Amino acid sequence: MRVLLAATRLSGTDGVSLEVRKVREGLEALGHRVFALAGVLEPDWEGAEVPEMHFQSPLARRFQGEAFAPGPEDPGLVLAIFRAGRELEEKLAAALGGFRPDLLLVENAWAIPLHLPLALALFGLWRRLGVPALSHNHDYSWERKRFLKNRVPALLARYFPPAGPGQLSINTLQRAELRFRRGLDSHLLPNVMDFDRPPPGPDGYNADFRESLGIGDRLLLLQPTRVVPRKRIETSLDLAAALRERGFDPVVLVTHAAGDEGYRYQERLRAYARAKGVDLRFAADRVARTRGRAGGRKVYSLWDAYLHADLVTYPSAYEGFRNALLEAVWMRRPVVVGRYPAYLVDIRPLGFRFVEVGARVDREVVSGVLRFLRDPDYAREATRANYRIAARHFGYPRLKSVLREAIGATRRAQA
């Protein structure tokens, strides 16, 4: 079967881009061919770039300020969005070239309203193609405060997500909310990793990672997230300060870029780190999905960063599931994790050995971290146990099983 996969971007180390790669691998393992449309595509994707699809394109940004502001519903604004959507639909249809899909799989563009015209364009393209469709929803509009006040409520209710396609949610709470708010049932597809494949180890390329980034033999706290407030990076800084008081010399290294939600939070973090006396590094220019060179310097892979981390900090207040948590488990790293709702419902009950952190770094958190850092046998046993649990519940067999079930159900329902 030929699958057309559409997203705002399929590039970089953001969670959706990384997870969609796994979806592609799952589809290909089931014998399907995948063709992608996105605002930006990395070279190993078969497909076409349509720059207007990116959520930071002028087309997307044109409507964000007007649509998500206090005030009554604005019919003129809705009409302008529909017109822009129809124009974009024509570009998407042209970008397909000779590819004729049997299934449309939309990655998050029908869930979180970052790009209003794109959602309408994809809906129109789906109708034009006359094939079954699946909406893979990583984030919903009601999960973000900035989308709650808006002037396009009817448009959001109809297209985020639309009622016709089959639905994939990434956690149990989302499934319940989708059913309650939209009356839509969905298949549960959590984030996954290929746990049958051993993680990469040290080699000649990554041997100088610490030296190259000026870390040396200091304690490395890796924060493998974007720089947005819900990641609560300040909590990692608090932990680093507490460890410094106990004789460690920590560095907090943030691997992903700022900018998706502006740069104010990054500047606040810099000031907070200075006040706490913590060494905070932003390394998006040195860490990427794959190795390479940029600006005359080596760029390391995300796995190189995990490999050299003493501790992975993931104190988020809210996540849909979290790719990075499984990455840390796959790389057998100790983890500090926030008690976000999806974690409490879908992950914690499985028995992982993490250090949990709430709104502040208390004595119990520090004690749990010190046990990992000072007892190598315990750390080794705990990270191996975490690996076994994750492989059983979040491996590729589950990915393929859910995809097979969801595609079959969607094709039968939309036949």
Do residue 147 and residue 274 come from a single domain? Answer: no
Do residue 348 and residue 405 come from a single domain? Answer: no
Q: Which two tokens stand for residue 247?
A: 């004789």
Q: Tell me how crowded residue 127 is: count the other CB atoms within 10 A of its CB.
A: 12
Do residue 188 and residue 242 come from a single domain? Answer: no
The pTM of the full predicted model, rounded to 2 decimals, is 0.88
Do residue 44 and residue 186 come from a single domain? Answer: yes
- 25-34, 140-149, 205-214, 298-307: which range is least confident on average? 140-149
From CA 139, how far away is CA 320, in angstroms rounded?
6
- In DSSP terms, which residues pair with 169 in a beta bridge? 137, 188
Backbone angles phi, psi at 93, to 5 degrees: -60, -40
Q: Which two tokens stand for residue 240?
A: 């680093």
Question: What average pLDDT is seen over the chain?
Answer: 94
Which contacts of 203-210 are long-range, i.e. CB under 8 A and separated by 24 or more positions?
Answer: 205/291, 205/298, 205/300, 205/304, 206/300, 206/301, 206/304, 206/307, 206/308, 208/298, 209/300, 209/304, 209/305, 209/307, 209/308, 210/308
Do residue 22 and residue 84 come from a single domain? Answer: yes
**pLDDT (tens digit, 9 = 90+) per residue, 87-107?**
999 999 999 998 999 999 999
Mean pLDDT of 248-263: 88
Do residue 350 and residue 409 come from a single domain? Answer: no
Do residue 115 and residue 239 come from a single domain? Answer: no
Task: Using a pLDDT cut of 70, give the percent of the chain over it.
Answer: 100
pLDDT bin (cut points 50, 70, 90) of residue 146 is confident
pLDDT bin (cut points 50, 70, 90) of residue 215 is very high
Is it the case that residue 187 has pLDDT exceeding 70? yes
pLDDT bin (cut points 50, 70, 90) of residue 384 is very high
From CA 412, how far away is CA 402, in angstroms rounded?
15
From CA 111, how far away is CA 145, in angstroms rounded?
15
Q: Is residue 201 part of a domain?
A: no
Q: Is residue 186 part of a domain?
A: yes
Provide the H-helix boundaries in 130-208.
153-159, 172-182
Do residue 41 and residue 142 come from a single domain? Answer: yes
**pLDDT (tens digit, 9 = 90+) per residue, 333-356?**
999 999 999 999 999 999 999 999
Do residue 118 and residue 47 come from a single domain? Answer: yes
Is it the case that residue 261 has pLDDT exceeding 90? no
Counted domains in the chain: 2
Do residue 182 and residue 217 come from a single domain? Answer: no
CATH of the domain at 267: 3.40.50.2000
E runs forming strands in 269-373? 279-282, 287-288, 292-294, 297-301, 311-314, 335-338, 355-357
Q: Is residue 290 part of a domain?
A: yes
Do residue 84 and residue 159 come from a single domain? Answer: yes
From CA 374, how far away is CA 378, in angstroms rounded?
9
H/E element, 394: none
Report the pLDDT value the prediction gives residue 324, as an integer from 0 to 100: 87
Report the pLDDT value the prediction gives residue 260, as an integer from 0 to 100: 66
Q: Is residue 115 part of a domain?
A: yes
pLDDT bin (cut points 50, 70, 90) of residue 21 is very high
From CA 12, how far away is CA 21, in angstroms rounded?
11
Question: What CA–CA distances, in Å, run from 221 to 160, 235, 323?
Answer: 37, 12, 18
Q: Is residue 187 part of a domain?
A: yes
Do residue 173 and residue 235 come from a single domain? Answer: no
Q: State which residues form the domain around 222.
A: 206-393
Q: Is residue 200 part of a domain?
A: no
Q: Is residue 118 part of a domain?
A: yes
Q: Is residue 199 part of a domain?
A: no
Task: Round to the nearest angstrom and report the end-to-end CA distance of the chain.
Answer: 15
